[in-house]
């Protein structure tokens, strides 16, 4: 997953965008599952200062903190973009909250950030385009 996250970061920086990124370690995931606070301050700050929140979805199950980050981004009406590694199923949380879903191997991340609705899930027929209404 780190290589995909690095690719996404490089693509965003090449477009002149400011990037704030954080990654949950295995130990942090275990602490979250054991009842530690759901979201670290640096993740909350990263989300708060962002225009768009991009989540690289690992092929392994996602952590509680990962889900809390999506909830925080949704609660603050941020644009949410999921980046899927090849063969990774879309978690229901993103099916509900993502504005766009792009493939890590594709070229639709920048168009999605710029407002194009992309729903790119490899190998899934009849993919839906979500309609999201954000309250002001």
pLDDT band at 68 (very low <50, low <70, confident <90, very high): low
| 125 exposure class (CB count in 10 Å sphere: 0-12, 13-18, 19+) | exposed
Q: Rg of the chain over CA atoms, in angstroms?
A: 14
Domain count of the fold of the chain: 1
Phi, psi of 93 (to 5 degrees): -55, -40
Q: What is the pLDDT of residues 20-56, one digit of tens each?
A: 777 655 565 555 555 555 667 777 787 788 788 888 8
> Which region among 33-37, 68-72, 105-109 has the lowest average model confidence (pLDDT)?
33-37
- Mean pLDDT, the chain, integer: 74
At residue 126, the pLDDT reads 43
Within a domain: 122: no
Structural domain of 70: 2-113
pTM for the full predicted model: 0.71
What CATH number is associated with residue 23? 3.40.50.450
Spatial distance between the Cα atoms of 69 and 64, rounded to a whole number of angstroms: 9
């Amino acid at each position: 997953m780190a290589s995909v996250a690095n690719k996404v970061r490089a693509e965003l920086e090449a477009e002149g965008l400011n990037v704030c990124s954080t990654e949950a370690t295995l130990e942090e995931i275990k602490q979250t599952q054991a009842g530690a606070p759901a979201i670290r301050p640096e993740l909350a700050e990263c989300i708060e200062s962002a225009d768009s929140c991009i989540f690289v979805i690992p092929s392994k199950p996602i952590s509680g903190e990962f889900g809390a980050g999506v909830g925080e981004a949704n609660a603050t009406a941020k644009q949410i973009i999921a980046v899927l590694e090849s063969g990774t199923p879309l978690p229901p949380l993103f099916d509900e909250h993502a504005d766009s879903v792009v493939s890590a191997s594709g070229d639709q991340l920048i168009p999605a950030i710029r407002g194009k609705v992309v729903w790119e899930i490899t190998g899934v027929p009849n993919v839906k385009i979500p309609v999201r209404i954000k309250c002001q």
